[in-house]
Every structure is written in C-alpha cells, then in structure tokens.
Structure 1
Amino acid sequence: MEPLIRELTDADRDANHRLGADAFGYAADRQPSALPPVGGAVLGAFVGDELTAKIRARDDRIHLPGNRTMEMFGVEGVAVHPEARGGGLLSPLFRAGFDRARRLGQPISILFPTAAGIYRRFGYELVGSLEQREIAVSALAKVKAPQGISLRRATNDDLGELRRLYAAWAAERLGPLTRVRPSAPILSGDYLASPASVTLAIDTTGEIVGSVRWTRGTGYDPATSIIEVEDLIGRTSDATRALWRFLGTFDSVSGRVNVELPSGDESLTALPAEPAPAVKEHRYMLALVDIPAALAARRGLPGLTAQLPFGVTGGFAEDVDGHYVLEVSGDELRCSRGSSGVGPTFHARGLAALYGGAQRCAGLRAGGLLDGPADHDALWDALFNVPAQVRDYF
C-alpha cells in the first residue's frame, strides 16, 4: 500500500508524540508538542490510518561567504515506526520535503544524521561536524592575556550588540544559522537566562569584539567541577585569547571546560597547546535541492571570467540530475541549464561535498563522485574552498 504523505496538524499531536517517543526515548513526563511547529512543518507518512514515519522540516536561513544569506531546509526529528523500518517510507517523505523546499525557495538542505548511510541515497554528504572538547582549565590559565581587551558580564541591554557581533562573525562563513528565525530565536532573552552567563570582550574603542556563553556548574573541587561552554566567538585574535584566558581564571575551583565548536574553528589555534581530540561530535550533512539557485547564491572570484559546463547524476530531489553551465563574472556566479557533453559530471553527493568545502575535486575523483574532464578542477576548488561551520545543533 502506498503511504499517504501530508503535513501534520494539531489533531495528530498524540500520534506524533508516540512515534517520536519510540525513536528518541522521550522522558515519561514530556508533553506532546503543538503542531505545526513554529517555523516549519512535520511531514507524516500514513499507512492506513496509522502515522508510520515522519520528518520535521525546519525553515531557516544560513550565512554564506561574502556577507550573503540563503534560505535552508533543515531536517530533524526523522522517525519510522520500529516495525516498519526498512519499508521505504523515508523516500516519499524526503521527496515531499524537497518539493516543499523548492516551493519555499530553499536551495539546500542540512541535517544532523544518526547514521550517514541512511541519507546518502537522498543526495546528502558529510561536510563537517559540531564537536565537543574537554580542555583543562589549567591549560587555559597559560593563555597570555592580551593588552587592550576588557571584560564585563552581558545584560539584556546587550542583546542587540550580541546579534550584531554574531552576524559580523558569520558574514564570511558558510553554514552558520542567522539565529533570527522563529524556528530558533537563539539570540533572545533566553540566551542570557540563568544558569548560563555571557561574558563580553571589549576593545579600546568600546566595541564588543567577542563573547562567551558559559555555565559554571556546581562545586569547587577542580577534580569534579566542570564549566560548560556553548558559544565562544572572537572577532579578533586578542578577543579570542582574552575569552580563553577568562575561562582559565577558574583554574583553582574547576578542572576542565567542555566546549562545543565547529570542526576546524579558528579559536582553537589561540590555545598554547594542541587540544585533545573531540570527545563527542554531531556530524552534519548537506544536499543540494536547487542547483542553479544554490550555486548562484555563492560568491565568485574577483577578476575571473569563466564558463564551466558540468553535469550532475545520482540526485534524488526532482530536477537535480542534468546538464548545467556555471558562469563566473567576478564576484557573481550564474548557473543555468546547459547542453550535454563537454564538462565533468558530479555525483549529487560529490557536488554537495564540494559546495560544503569538505572535498576538493581530486578527492571526489578518487571516491568515484566526479569524473570526466579535469581541466577546470582548480577553478572549482577555488570557488568552493570555504569549509562549512555550523554552531547550532537541531
């Protein structure tokens, strides 16, 4: 029997909760959530009258290099009834999700997988991770305090400045959420709510150039006391060092800091020694839903004019497979459908990996995700050489 695919309404609240509890092990006292969720929708697959599988579509916006932003289809809450797993129910759900994304002008999709292999058949590829590290507070105490940076505790009056700080930090990066959508108003009053605290780094002109959100934890025995850090942002190297050094001032009462940062985050280079490997990570994947729109949203290379014909195969979203031409005119990119024949062919996963800065063309060729003429590989690498950095798990 073909499943019925539709958006869930509040009449489906209890069924949605039961399916989620099977998949994610909700606590017994957790209450069913209202539907539809703010800033998105839940798509359900019904076999007969039973809700048997679902995905939550998160409508959000991400930053792109060059102070640009783009709409995004975030996927979370993927669940299949235990007795129906392996029955192919995710395929019509993702097809419906991609169709919805195209209608809403969302050229890319991002998700955090529990198992990457499940999602590769839908065109997703791994492009990075959000990593948790444990750093000894005694190591942070060795960071040399920079000159010209003062610190103070943030208040609700600083929320506007915190938003501007974050937007300025994210302006040249690929992937951070804008943090202003209804689906995740992260830089709101809750950001400063107890037990969390936010400390600001301020330069000699009075400008806020960095911030760290931290939770002190309990006790004062360095062997057991832990400081949780969810957000460390430095616009300058001095601000970053000042914030690390601030955390190091707890060395007599706290033994370690648990900090969550994107893979490759530059703030780790300010530490006096190489940090230990991540103890936990949330890997994330990217898929291209609308290739012309996704590529045209990116920035070109000043002074470069080029035409790059290419093909795409192995895609899942409608109209992804086919032939294209990417036109580079300085800072601007334009992508349109092209004729067959002359350029390389990317697997949809390979183009997603390149777009997310996770692989160069040589690696894609070695992995079987790119073949055909290699004349323009260096240009493709140069155009998409910014690694994805996602700070917010969903």
Structure 2
Amino acid sequence: MEIRDLTPEDLDATLDLRKRAFGPLSAADVERWRAAVIPVLGEGRYLGAFDDGRLAAAARLRRFTQWWHGRPQPMAGIAGVTVSPEDRGRGVGSGIMRAVIERGVALGDAISALYPATTAIYRGLGYEHAGAQYNVRIPAEALRRIRSSGPVKLRRMGPDDASEIVSVLHRVHGAARSSGPVSWDEQTWRLWLGNPDDFLYLADDGYVIYRWKGEDMEVENVVAASGESLRALWSMVGSASSIARDVIASVAPDDPVLWLLRERSTEQVLQRRWMFRVLDVAAAVERRGYPEQVGCEAVVTVEDPIQGSGTWRLEFGGGSGAATPVEGAGVTLSVNGFSALYAGIPAATLRLTGLMSGDERYDEALDTAFAAKPYMLDYF
C-alpha cells in the first residue's frame, strides 16, 4: 500500500470514494468541494492510500485555528476520511490515519480534532472524546422578543469580509477565554461567505450566519463581543417567526442567548461529539492558554505508540505553560488520557476509566490548570 499526496488527477477517484462512503453529492456540492480542495492540494494536507495504483482510502487535514482558554493555535482538523468498501477491515483506515498524524506533526500542528463516524478506530490511534457541537431548538418567537439595549448597525456581508470575520473571532474567543471553537482560514471563509443560500450579517463586533432548513431556521454561527450586538443579531434571526416556528442553533453550552430568553424549561439539545488528540506534547502545552492565577507544576508520563512516549515536567504560571523533558515518575497517561486532560476532562474521570494512573498528588493541580468546557460551533 502506497500513501502519498493527492493530485488534481486523483480528484475523480476521491469523489467516487466519498460517494461510496457518505452518499451522493449534489452538483453544487461537488463544485464547492472542488473549489475548496484544488487550491490546497500542494500544501500536503490531502493524503491517499493506493493499492496497485487504485485509490483505496483518503483523508484530509484541514487548516484551522482553535482556541484553548482564549489562546489560539493551529489545529489539524481531520475530515473526509474514506475507505473503499472492498478495502474495509484490512487496516487501510488505520494506516492512512497514522500517516495523517505524522503529516500533522510535520506541518507544525501540535493538536488535532475530528468528528468521528465511529469511535473505535480513532481511539485506537490516540484520539479521545473531548467536546461537542451543541445544537439547541429555540422557538423563533422567543428570539424575536429579545430587545437590543442600544442601536446596532448591521450590514450584509460577503467574501470580501473574510478577514473581518477572522478578526472578530479572535477578539470574541480571546475575551471569553473560550475552549474548543475553531476558525477556518481566510481562503475558506471567502468560499463559504459566497454561498447564495445563506443569510450573512455583520456588526462592528459580531456576525451571524443562518439559513432556512425546511420550515425552520438554522443558525450556524452567532458570535458577538458586546451584549448590544448579541441581542440585535439574535432578534433579527427571530424576526422570521411569522413563517418559521423554530430556530435550530449551534451554541456554546453556556451561550448567553440561553440567558436572554424570557422562558426556559425543557430544551432539546443535540450533541454532535468530537474527538481530540495532542500530537506534540511540548508545543501543545506551550501554545495553550491557562487561568492567569494558576501557579503549579506536575510530572506526567505520556505513552504514545505513534509519536513516542516521554516524561515531562509541566509548569504553569501567569496564564502560560511549559513542558520540559525529565526523568522520574509521576502521573502516567495514555496519549488518549493526556488529550482528554488537555481538553478539561477531570482526573477522577480519567482514573476511573483507566486512562490515568500513578501519583495522585498532582490531580488537583492538573484539573485546575486544564479546566475547560470545550465546544465547537462548526462541523467539518
């Protein structure tokens, strides 16, 4: 089995593989997929596994920015993992995912995330469940009743606003000390902002992306730095209440809109789980944000059969962290366990599930440093 970068000549075979794995794509979706993929083929972010020249599997590393406690860092978002039906069960999927992990490290990504179709294969490669995309159903009329506390100027936006969107996301997620949300790169934003079926509005410090979904409205993103913009954007979505009964929105687990509603009792929330993996322990620890007041240290051994195991002294202070290789014993975690810990999963949970063992004296320090409630607004 040969694993190599995909080329433009491989795209027809890749589309056929996607159809066999995920179902047929519309002509418009095929066009958008090609427009997104062709410009980045030379970046080494789309791999294929070939059996005697025939494409047997493919996987893509999407270029994302992801926030952890308000600090952004590059992240490899794994998508389009497909294996030909006749090659399933032969280890082809695991093989190409190992190559993806190694490629992510080579490209400088210290962390990676994906939405799994099945847990087992990714857990076996070091990924662990970390967070979710939370989709809540809200009556449109309840959103319409949200009133802005001051005048907010909203305007329609398009592809030329891609850099402004990225800037807004950095301001909002940094100020909120968010963990988990992602941003596409500007090139991809330009492509998405050209979708004629989406309603796109921009404020000075926020934006909304929404669309019709049958008889309901679907909100992909509402992001705002001020309460005034937040109210104005949600109220505008709710203004469709004369036609739409409900709004299905992707929100944070403690999203402010849920506290702006006049009534809350029973809520329908669909969680779409995502998995997470640390690819480079030292770089991932250094690039993450931490609570400013935390000052502590811990010794951890991370067992990673793909990237190699090591023991590290983790030191936290002033909102920053560092990992230094050391000798000795402390807490022992599989790479799955360390990835979950990094994402805020408590030490007690990791110990009960066998992902963490060894010295317990560092547990509270690790819980405090890595505390997070991770979520994503976007699906990929």
Report deviation, 1:53: 1.6
Q: 1:16 to 1:252 in 2, by over 3 A?
A: closer
Moved more, 259-268 or 249-258: 259-268
CA-to-aligned-CA distance 1:221-251 (integer Å, 9 cap, x gap): xxx7422222111323343333333333333
CA distance in 1, matches of 2:197, 2:293: 51
When residues 338 and 266 of structure 1 are mapped into structure 2, their CA distance, relative to the original with a 3 A threshold, is: farther
| Distance in 2 between residues matched to 1:65 and 1:346, nearest whole Å | 22
For the residue of structure 1 that corresponds to 2:359, the secondary structure is coil
How far did 1:339 drift? 0.9
> Could you tell me whether the CA contact under 8 Å between 2:129 and 2:276 is conserved in 1?
yes
Q: How many percent identity over aligned positions?
A: 29
Deviates more, 1:23-32 or 1:225-234: 23-32
Q: Distance in 2 between matches of 1:160 and 1:19?
A: 34
Larger Rg: 1
* Shift, 1:255, TM fit: 1.4
TM-score under structure 2 length normalisation:
0.87
Q: Which deviates more, 331-340 or 254-263?
A: 254-263
Q: Given residue 353 of structure 1, which amino acid in structure 2 is its aligned partner?
A: A
Alpha-carbon distance between aligned partners in 2 of 1:349 and 1:273, rounded to the nearest angstrom: 40
- Does the 8 Å CA contact 2:152/2:229 hold for their aligned counterparts? no
- Root-mean-square deviation (CA, aligned residues, Å) is 2.7
The answer for the alignment partner of 1:323 in structure 2 is 311
Q: Contact (CA 8 Å) 2:166, 2:183: kept in 1 or not?
A: no
Q: Cα–Cα, structure 1 residues 65 and 303, in superposed 2: closer, same or farther, change >3 Å?
A: closer
> How far did residue 57 of structure 1 move?
1.9
Do residues 354 (structure 1) and 341 (structure 2) align? yes
Q: Equivalents in 1 of 2:162, 2:76: separation in Å?
A: 27
**Could you say which residue in structure 1 is the equivalent of 2:136?**
133
The one of 22, 26, 43 equivalent to 2:24 is 26
Query: Per the alignment, in what secondary structure is the counterpart of residue 195 of structure 1?
Result: coil
Structure 2 distance, partners of 1:56, 1:161, is 26
Q: Which runs of 5+ in 1 are unaligned?
A: 202-207, 218-223
Residues 43 and 159 of structure 1: is their aligned pair in 2 closer, same or farther, counting only changes over 3 Å?
Answer: closer
Kindly indicate whether the alpha-carbon contact (under 8 Å) linking 1:126 and 1:285 is maintained by their aligned counterparts in 2.
yes
Structure 2 counterpart of 1:24, which letter?
F
Aligned 8 A contact 2:291 2:369 in 1: yes
2:284 matched to which residue of 1?
294
Residue 115 in 1 paired to residue 111 in 2? no
Q: Partner of 2:180 in structure 1?
A: 175
Q: Contact conserved, 1:42 with 1:55, CA < 8 A, in 2?
A: yes
| TM, length-normalised to structure 1 | 0.84
Contact 1:128 1:262 in 2 (8 A): no
User: What CA distance in whole angstroms lies between the structure 2 residues aligned with 1:189 and 1:98?
Assistant: 27
Paired with 1:338 and 1:73, the residues of 2 have a C-alpha distance of 28
8 Å Cα contact 2:166/2:186 also seen in 1: no
> Structure 1 residues 199, 91: CA separation in 2 closer, same or farther (over 3 Å shift)?
closer
The one of 284, 289, 294 aligned to 2:274: 284
2:49 and 2:57 in contact (8 A); partners too:
yes
Q: CA deviation at 1:309?
A: 0.7
Shift of the alpha carbon at 1:20? 1.8
Find out whether 1:150 has 2:137 as its counterpart. no
> Counterpart of 2:168 in structure 1: which amino acid?
L
Offset of residue 374 of structure 1: 1.5
Counterpart of 2:78? 75
* Equivalent residue, structure 2, for 1:53: 57
Correspondence for 1:13 among 5, 8, 11: 11
Which amino acid in the other structure matches residue 196 of structure 1?
A: D
- Whether the 8 Å CA contact 1:40–1:58 is kept in 2: the answer is no
Amino acid at match of 1:97: V
Q: How many residue pairs are counted as aligned between the two chains?
A: 370
Check whether the contact 2:79–2:114 (CA below 8 A) recurs between aligned residues. Answer: yes
Offset, 1:155: 4.1
**One-letter amino acid of the counterpart of residue 267, structure 2:** A
- Are 1:39 and 1:181, in contact at CA under 8 Å, matched by a contact in 2? no
Residues 1:121 and 1:70: Cα distance change in structure 2 (over 3 Å) = same
8 A Cα contact 1:63 1:170, kept in partner: yes
Alignment of 1:1-394 (within 5 A): 3-27=1-25, 29=27, 30=30, 33=34, 37=41, 41-66=45-70, 68-143=71-146, 145-155=147-157, 161-171=164-174, 172-182=177-187, 184=188, 186=189, 188=190, 190-191=192-193, 194-200=196-202, 208-215=204-211, 225-274=215-264, 276-279=267-270, 281-302=271-292, 304-313=294-303, 315-319=304-308, 321-341=309-329, 343-357=330-344, 359-394=345-380
